[in-house]
Structure 1
């Protein structure tokens, strides 16, 4: 039995894949502990995973309520600034665990990488989306302007990517001071030296969604989507179940579990639903964002497992987070994505290229445009067929036994 730490950083879409990993590792007899923001304790413990909480709920709320978090070009800066602030809390929690044989963490958990360099604990970097691979061969669409960059020759992109990376400006100055305080040689560049662990890199998305490129890490294993949403522990609420069986398949709208600045999203959604004349489900943790006096054709839910809810949906309208998007692909439901920042533009672009949905920017997300695209998604047989094809690909994915063996092979041998 190995002592394994899971160290996600971020919102539910960042944490749930690690719960999925924890379920399977526990089933193989390992002791699994999760260290992350304290408000995810209930979800982790429901899945049977030991939990060590960091910080206070208001600290996580401060990050998601920062008005910059969903703005293109600014959101990544906010995330990396908070990631730098979390380095020492993560490191202290790791050191408090005593014997550790393996850590799994995203690149934003710099405390895990610091623990690797300080104590020699093996670390697997877990990438949840292809947008983190800044390849010169298939360049991710992190900004609309990068569509032009994609057309540039490889030599030009290689020269451009050799320049200082903006992420180093966001977190590296603080991280260098922390490394010095712990006797660890700081990296000259987070992107070039700390982005991928030498012990192993795990990409949790399939090859048909993002084909591996020659400049991706050589020590990488690519797998399928984790598709964790705690559906085993939480059923749909009775009032939502009743709504779903009362009429035609609704359109499901969500701006993301961490989005508490989505009043405009739901105002546009309500207007578009009225124009189309369809039924709808609005999903948001902060229901005060939803317009008052909605008609009976729209119901609001503070949480619903998408793997269950989307079986009843006609179209899924969302923000383009990788976890939300993959649940839509798994359900075979056409998608309308209002992408804002982070990996969302790239995810939306990939869905469009597969023919399984449509992407819109925040500026394009207006009632008349949304209504027009909804009508298309509800009637276009080609898009519906492409969405179902993705569902079949996901259903044919292998069992995770080989993945677990690969992870186990990177742990310290039990002492």
Structure 2
């Protein structure tokens, strides 16, 4: 069968689809990925066919928009970009010839349009529990939602019946594109297009987010897809030498798509100096890192976390779901500086598991980070909680069950 994968976003959004692609190809299916051209090399290294979506400059413009990491505002930027991508997605899908199944996140609205226009089965893939706006366990998308969580179910149900931000930011453009393509436009993207009728796949385990009564009934909940191309991209020689030369370092990363992290690394360098530990800074743009760092700090552009974190003492990051799950798998305590999108909710769940500490951008100061690092390095409780998470992940479910469930959507 010919299966299309249509991720939307940064490496943390794309790598899980590469993980799915590897397993689908092992079952004998032909797999094509359609996403930003920035990820063509990674997809082809994994053996996937690839169709480029748009120009590199378009994706770079989105991640370089200073609003992208602002709480609340960043969501607007993402959904506006998602709406602009509907027609390129649809054109790319239609260029692939016969397609038997699509797997895509909710933000790939072009995939849902292709389902309605051509009748191609679609599985909606949710990578984080924050996308389930449940009245029973409401995600923490904003600090103010801590108050909302305590409200009765009837109040939240009434509140969620009001216009949703995704409809305000993306629906008008999506409706116009639907009309051009002869497809009945949805009245609400959130209520009608959020979850595909053909199947919904949640790629996170129940111990991280338990299923709720108002989640979709056609859902399969799995575990974290721990894909980071470690087979294709081993640790650099320089990094291996650094790791072997002393105690386990603290690893810092603001996320693969974050090119506005100068303050993050400035604070990190100051905190490392106060603690007196070793550190590895991971960033796609090393120019964000302060110049003339001491020998106890090494900067690298990329390192597979599944390999690197096994040799780390603490992991300091932004709270992206892919990055966080690699920390769980390695059993490393986490210090999270959450900014926007699903990050506050992910960070809150890490804290509830006792496996890490959550800080806002404002709280992320050199003194606070140094104090929390000392706490994480010296406290056994969080290390034990992190090790428990690693043990849970190691008990992976039978992949054959997931593959057969996906293949059943094809037959339907």
TM-score by length of 1: 0.99
Instruction: Determine if the alignment matches structure 1 residue 184 to structure 2 residue 164.
Output: no
Tell me the distance in 2 between the aligned counterparts of 1:25 and 1:228. 14
Is 1:308 the counterpart of 2:310 in the alignment? Answer: no
**TM-superposition CA deviations, 1:11-68 (whole Å, max 9, x none):** 0000000000000000000000000001100000000000001111111100000010
The Cα of 1:249 is off from its aligned counterpart by: 0.3
Correspondence for 2:345: 346
- Are the aligned partners of 1:84 and 1:174 in contact in 2 as well (CA < 8 Å)? yes
Name the counterpart of 1:68: 67
Matched, 1:31 2:30: yes
Residue by residue over 1:59-87, the C-alpha shift from the partner in whole angstroms, topping out at 9 and shown as x without a partner, is 11000000100000011100000000000
Corresponding residue for residue 360 of structure 1: 359
Match in the other structure for 1:96: 95
2:156 maps to 1:169: no
What do residues 313-358 of structure 1 show as CA deviations (whole Å, max 9, x unaligned)?
0000000000000000000000000000000000000000000000
CA distance in structure 2 between the partners assigned to 1:103 and 1:228 by the alignment: 20
Q: CA deviation at 1:399?
A: 3.0
Report the alpha carbon displacement of residue 412 of structure 1 after superposing the two structures with TM.
4.0
Residue 375 (structure 1) aligns with: 374
Render the CA deviation track for 1:371-405: whole Å, top value 9, x for unaligned: 00000000110000000000000001213110000
- The 5 A counterparts of 1:182-261 are 182-261=181-260
* CA-CA distance at 1:89 after TM superposition: 0.4
Measure, in 2, the Cα distance between the counterparts of 1:260 and 1:51. 25
Structure-1 residue corresponding to 2:115: 116
Is the 1:102–1:412 contact (alpha carbons within 8 Å) kept by the matching residues of 2?
Answer: no
Equivalent position of 1:280 in the other structure: 279
* CA distance in 1: counterparts of 2:107 and 2:237, whole angstroms: 38
- 2:81 is matched with which residue? 82
- Identify the residue that residue 265 of structure 2 maps to in structure 1: 266
SS in 1 for 2:112: helix
For residue 407 of structure 1, what is the aligned residue in structure 2? Answer: 406
SS of 1:359's partner is: strand
Note if contact 1:122-1:412 (Cα within 8 Å) is conserved in structure 2. Answer: no
SS in 2 for 1:299: strand
C-alpha separation in 1, matches of 2:385 and 2:134: 26
Taking the aligned partners of 2:310 and 2:398, their CA distance within structure 1 comes to: 22
SS at 1:33 equivalent: strand
Where in structure 2 are there 5+ consecutive unaligned residues?
Answer: none
Question: Does the alignment pair 1:136 with 2:135?
Answer: yes
Aligned Cα root-mean-square deviation (Å): 0.6
1:395 paired residue number: 394
Q: Distance in 2 between matches of 1:371 and 1:69?
A: 27
Aligned residue pairs total: 412
- Which SS does the other structure have where 2:66 is aligned? coil
Structure-1 separation of matches of 2:63 and 2:164: 24
Are the equivalent residues in 2 in contact too, given 1:7–1:105 (CA < 8 A)?
Answer: yes
Specify the SS of the correspondent of 1:51. Answer: strand
> What is the deviation of 1:277?
0.2
Does structure 2 retain, via aligned residues, the 8 Å contact 1:33–1:50?
yes
Question: CA offsets, 1:286-310, max 9 Å, x none?
Answer: 0000000000000000000000000
Q: Summarize deviations over 1:274-295 as a string: whole Å, max 9, x none.
A: 0000000000000000000000
Equivalent residue for 2:8? 9
Structure 1 gap ranges (5+)? none
CA deviations on 1:122-153 (whole Å, 9 max, x unpaired) are 00000000000000000000000000000000
Aligned to 1:82, the other structure's residue is in SS state helix
SS for the counterpart of 1:296 is: coil
* Aligned residue number for residue 296 of structure 2: 297
